[in-house]
Amino acid sequence: MERTVVLIKPDGIQRGLVGEIMHRFERKGLKLVGLKMVTMTDAMLDSWYVHHKDKPFFETLKTFMEWTPVVAMVWEGLEAVAAVRKIVGITKAREAEAGSIRGDFGMSGSQNIIHASDSLESAEKELGLIFNADEIFDYESGMDSLIYSKGEA
Ligand code: CMP
């Protein structure tokens, strides 16, 4: 099973979308294995967004991400990285597919409500930046046999 990291960004918090967003992942059949509120620091963001450090929007992005705490979650499931990215939608929210979180709730390409890991490698790195080992939970979900067929997961 894959694990992937999702952040509800400060605009998602301010707009009261936390419950709506979590509900979508739950209904999909993903399993919540980590959840916390966290204030992103400059040092965390420098590492989180290292691939954007030379972009003109880098400083604005960091200021935005430090506006309020974020809600950080780890969701587990079969090919969870790709499944979660589909639910999230593309970066530019006004062009994101209707039915996706960004497509349903956003217009901006920067204040786009939510972050999701773009690969297993990013997920591992992001998980390590936010969560301690004892904040990730291994448990039996009663839903597993309803969500997946025998031998599939
Ligand atoms: P995300 O895809 O989660 O991670 C990188 C973030 O950088 C992206 O969401 C946006 O919040 C932000 N971003 C990407 N492109 C731009 C841009 N052209 N201008 C401003 N912010 C951007």
Give domain limits for the chain. Answer: 2-147
With contact defined as beta carbons under 8 Å apart, do 54 and 78 qualify? no
Q: Please say if the pLDDT value at position 59 is more than 90.
A: yes
User: In the β-sheet with 70-77, what is the strand arrangement from edge to edge?
Assistant: 31-38, 70-77, 2-8, 114-116
Phi and psi at residue 98, in whole multiples of 5°? -55, 140
Question: Each residue of 81-114: pLDDT tens digit?
Answer: 999 999 999 999 999 999 999 999 999 999 999 9
Which token pair is 26?
Answer: 């739950």
Residue nearest to atom 4 of ligand 1 (CA): 115
Q: Is the pLDDT confidence value at 4 over 90?
A: yes
Separation of CA 149 and ligand 1 centre (Å): 37
Residue among 44, 81, 112 to mutate when testing ligand 1 (max atoms within 8 A of CB): 112
Residue 153 confidence (pLDDT): 81
CATH number belonging to domain 2-147:
3.30.70.141
116 pLDDT higher than 90: yes
Nearest to 115 by CA among 75, 57, 55, 78: 75
23, 51, 52, 115: the active-site residue: 115
Band of the pLDDT at 33, cuts 50, 70, 90?
very high
User: What is the overall mean pLDDT for the chain?
Assistant: 97
Residue 96 confidence (pLDDT)? 98
What CA–CA distance (Å, rounded) separates 108 from 110?
Answer: 5
Q: How far is the CA of 145 from the centre of ligand 1 (A)?
A: 37
Residue 147 has phi, psi (to 5 degrees) of: -85, -40
Query: What pTM, to 2 d.p., does this model score?
Result: 0.96
